[in-house]
């Protein structure tokens, strides 16, 4: 059979297997190699909450989808061109994500009676049962081949079988004409302290590559040329790491040492882990006894003059609610990162959602408005975290930054910015004052109070959760309370004077304005482009600043006949808009499945308007 190389614009590949099969690593290596090769990429890990769910069952299937392209890639792709299924359960759970006629690589060694039964198939022919006969099935005895490849390696049987993901990766590299050296370099670095593992891993990777070449089971391979990216230096970055780095950057720009008090929680933990690494930049991390201690230690650190941060996910934000009120009334700078996940309660911890917006906006006792921001893409988490810290520090208030499991775990190539592109951060620290220091006296323009750090002579003062006058004296005077409530709310509202205007992509005016916020950006952007290509008169307004809203929000909205608000919840943002900008009629597209949008469903919804 003649082997042809087909040039293609983009391809989506989905690696799936048992939780213990190493699919997250395989997907990550494929993505990294593609990014280093110069492709645009976007990734989506889709894994179960259990570390090792029962082997061979559908519940234990772990997946990692990678979208690579030589043109703009903004989403991990709706459906895949190639599906890797390491066992019957993986095939059963993921066949629905394969494009009609897609190539499906299966490890035939795992398709035995026991595993087919465990996956819940009714017959012994999963391919027929799933109606995949018209798909291009590449049935390879991957486990056997891996054993054969490594029989002289000196590794024990368990270690050998575990290497089957490298064999599969090698096969995929052949199919997409990927160079192997990026992954070989990774293996050399990873196993620097266990050099006996370098050789076998490289061998099995190469054997997988050669096997795919030799069997001719794959009629054509694909070539995705490097994308035409803006020149500069790039790196791959996940949303959680970008968030941590954005906070470190704000610490450097403000000169305030970083303090992070947190409690481990999926999917936010990586931010705490990442900050714990970077002590070289002065970051102090305290892994607390609980979520409440996480935020309260951070509030203490803020009082003492640090850039204070606490990171969490939905249920943790619930636990922090009372303390958020304390940060708000004491008017201390604090960044609260909520990596949203599926709820309520424990919900589906590893799945993504946008269902914490109401909680972020309203989830506190008393009159307690707090600034709320949302990151758009994995790399945008860097900017969002930086600016959340800037507003917190300069306006003396807590800021909630919403990201999502999809952003936190997802990664994309990022053109590395220069720190010169970021503004200075100037917290209103006071060193001395005439007369008695009044802790809650405000700046006339921003309404921010001054920050007097303990240790400064002459500025001794008390803060706390009780209502106080501007002078800092406890007060239950009705008028003082009303005045202070209004002033704190006004301070948050005035941040609108400092944030950028809302931008519109696509048509500036027209039939339909697609509205979104946070991590749905990639899907909404891709859908908007597709609709524009179809000749539809659409625009996209994507919000990063939620409270307060950008000042030009109504000006943007009034230029369109219809507005459709798309979000991964039952309508939090649309109802907020109905309250804040009541002069418009809002249509909505909502999805609450623990999964991101697929581009197709957005396009369909807009076409149907």
Partner 1 sequence: MKYTSQDFKSDQEVRWCPGCGDHAVLASVLRAMPEICEELNISKEQLVFVSGIGCSSRFPYYMNTYGFHGIHGRATALSTGIKVANPQLSVWQMTGDGDALAIGGNHFIHAIRRNIDINIILFNNRIYGLTKGQYSPTSKYGLVTKTSPYGTVEEPFIPGQLVLGARGTFFARSLDSELKLNQEIMLQAAKHKGTSVMEMLVNCVIFNDGTHLDISEKSVRADRTIVLRHGEPMIFGKERDKGIVLDGLNLKVVKLGENGVTEKDILVHDAHSDNIGIHSQLVNMRYPDFPVALGVIRDVEAKTYETEVHRQVADVAQKAKIKNMEQLLHSGATWSVK
List residues near partner 1 by CB under 8 A.
Answer: 32, 35-36, 38, 226, 229-236, 245, 248-249, 252, 257, 259, 261, 278-284, 286, 288-290, 292-293, 296-306, 308, 322-323, 325-326, 330, 416-419, 453-466, 473-474
In 3D space, the residue among 246, 336, 267 whose CA is nearest the CA of residue 298 turns out to be 336
Whether 224 contacts 39, CB under 8 Å: yes
Residue 315 C-beta: closest distance to partner 1, Å: 17
C-alpha–C-alpha distance, residues 1 and 432, integer Å: 83
Looking at the DSSP bridge assignments, the partners of residue 285 are 260
Cα–Cα separations (whole angstroms), residue 298 to 157, 249, 260, 293, 336: 49, 18, 6, 8, 10
Cα–Cα separations (whole angstroms), residue 244 to 262, 333, 385, 584: 13, 17, 8, 38
CA torsion through residues 389, 390, 396, 397, sign: negative
Q: What is the DSSP letter of 51?
A: T
Q: Which helix (H) or strand (E) holds 63?
A: strand 61-69
213, with CB counted inside 10 A (0-12, 13-18, 19+), is middle
Residue 176 C-beta: closest distance to partner 1, Å: 18
C-beta closer to partner 1: residue 231 or 345: 231
Tokens 């003059």 locate to 305
C-alpha–C-alpha distance, residues 382 and 360, integer Å: 20
Residue 384 C-beta: closest distance to partner 1, Å: 16
C-alpha torsion 225→176→12→29, nearest 10: -100
C-alpha–C-alpha distance, residues 223 and 175, integer Å: 8
The first and second tokens of residue 542, run together, are 């994507």
The first and second tokens of residue 294, run together, are 């996480």
Contacts 24+ apart (CB under 8 A), 437-443: 437/461, 437/472, 438/470, 438/471, 438/472, 439/463, 439/471, 439/472, 440/331, 440/468, 440/469, 440/470, 440/471, 440/472, 440/484, 441/470, 441/471, 442/470, 442/487, 442/491
Q: How many CB atoms lie within 10 A of CB 406?
A: 32
Whether 487 contacts 537, CB under 8 Å: no
Cα–Cα separations (whole angstroms), residue 60 to 20, 28, 342, 347: 9, 19, 18, 17
The first and second tokens of residue 132, run together, are 């995949």
Tokens 């996209």 locate to 540
C-beta closer to partner 1: residue 257 or 363: 257
399, with CB counted inside 10 A (0-12, 13-18, 19+), is buried
Angle between helices 239-254 and 269-277 (to 10 degrees): 50
C-alpha–C-alpha distance, residues 544 and 546, integer Å: 6
Residue 473 C-beta: closest distance to partner 1, Å: 7
DSSP assignment of 403-417, as one string?
EEHHHHH-EEEEEPP
C-beta closer to partner 1: residue 299 or 375: 299
Residue 102 C-beta: closest distance to partner 1, Å: 29
Residue 173 C-beta: closest distance to partner 1, Å: 17
Looking at the DSSP bridge assignments, the partners of residue 516 are 542
Whether 469 contacts 512, CB under 8 Å: no
C-beta closer to partner 1: residue 160 or 332: 332
Residue 475 C-beta: closest distance to partner 1, Å: 12
Residue 247 C-beta: closest distance to partner 1, Å: 11
Residue 71 C-beta: closest distance to partner 1, Å: 14
């Amino acid at each position: 059979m003649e082997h042809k190389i087909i040039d293609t614009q983009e391809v989506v590949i989905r690696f799936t297997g048992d939780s213990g099969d190493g699919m997250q690593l395989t997907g990550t290596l494929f993505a990294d190699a593609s990014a280093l090769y110069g492709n645009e990429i976007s990734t989506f890990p889709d894994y179960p909450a259990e570390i090792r769910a029962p082997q061979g069952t559908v519940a234990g299937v772990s997946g990692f989808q990678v979208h690579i392209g030589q043109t703009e890639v903004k989403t991990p792709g709706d459906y895949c061109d190639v599906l890797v299924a390491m066992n019957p359960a993986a095939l059963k759970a993921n066949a629905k994500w394969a494009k009609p006629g897609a190539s499906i690589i299966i490890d035939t060694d795992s398709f035995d009676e026991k595993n087919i039964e465990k996956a819940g198939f009714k017959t012994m022919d999963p391919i027929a049962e799933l109606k995949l006969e018209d798909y291009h099935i590449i049935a390879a005895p991957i486990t056997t081949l891996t054993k054969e490849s490594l029989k002289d390696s000196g590794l024990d049987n368990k270690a050998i079988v575990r290497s089957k993901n490298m064999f599969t990766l090698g096969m995929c590299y052949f199919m997409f004409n990927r160079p192997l050296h990026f992954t070989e370099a990774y293996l050399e670095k990873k196993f620097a302290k266990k050099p006996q593992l370098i050789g076998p891993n490289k061998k099995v990777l190469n054997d997988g590559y050669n096997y795919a070449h030799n069997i001719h089971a794959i009629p054509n391979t694909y070539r995705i040329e490097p994308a035409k990216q803006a020149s500069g230096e790039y790196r791959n970055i996940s949303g959680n790491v970008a968030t941590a780095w954005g906070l470190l950057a704000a610490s450097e720009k403000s000169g305030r040492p970083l303090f992070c008090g947190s409690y481990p929680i999926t999917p936010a933990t990586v931010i705490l882990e990442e900050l714990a690494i970077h002590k070289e930049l002065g970051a102090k991390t305290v892994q607390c006894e609980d979520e409440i201690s996480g935020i309260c230690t951070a509030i203490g650190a803020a009082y003492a003059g640090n850039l204070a941060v606490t990171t969490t996910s939905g249920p943790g934000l619930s636990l922090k609610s009372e303390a958020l009120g304390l940060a708000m009334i004491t008017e201390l700078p604090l960044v609260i990162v909520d990596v949203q996940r599926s709820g309520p309660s424990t919900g589906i911890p590893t799945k993504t959602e946008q269902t914490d917006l109401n909680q972020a906006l309203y989830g506190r006792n008393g009159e307690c408005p707090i600034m709320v921001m949302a990151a758009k893409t994995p790399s945008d988490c860097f900017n969002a975290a930086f600016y959340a810290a800037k507003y917190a520090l300069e306006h003396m208030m807590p800021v909630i930054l919403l990201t999502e499991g999809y952003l936190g775990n997802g990664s994309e190539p990022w053109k590395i910015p220069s720190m010169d592109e970021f503004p200075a951060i100037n917290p209103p620290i006071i060193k001395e004052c005439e007369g008695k220091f009044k802790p809650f006296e405000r700046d006339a323009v921003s309404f921010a109070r001054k920050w007097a750090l303990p240790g400064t002579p002459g500025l001794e003062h008390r803060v706390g959760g009780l209502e106080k006058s501007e002078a800092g004296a406890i007060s239950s005077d009705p008028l003082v309370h009303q005045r202070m409530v209004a002033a704190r709310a006004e301070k948050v509202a005035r941040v609108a004077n400092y944030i950028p205007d809302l931008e519109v992509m696509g048509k500036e005016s027209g039939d339909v304005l697609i509205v979104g916020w946070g991590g749905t950006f990639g899907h909404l952007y891709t859908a908007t482009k597709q609709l524009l290509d179809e000749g539809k008169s659409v625009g996209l307004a994507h919000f990063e600043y939620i409270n307060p809203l950008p000042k030009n929000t109504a000006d943007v909205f009034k230029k369109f006949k219809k507005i459709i608000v798309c979000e991964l919840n039952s309508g939090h943002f649309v109802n907020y808009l109905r309250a804040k900008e009541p002069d418009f009629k809002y249509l909505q597209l909502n999805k609450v499945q623990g999964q991101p949008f697929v581009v197709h469903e957005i396009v369909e919804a807009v076409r149907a308007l």
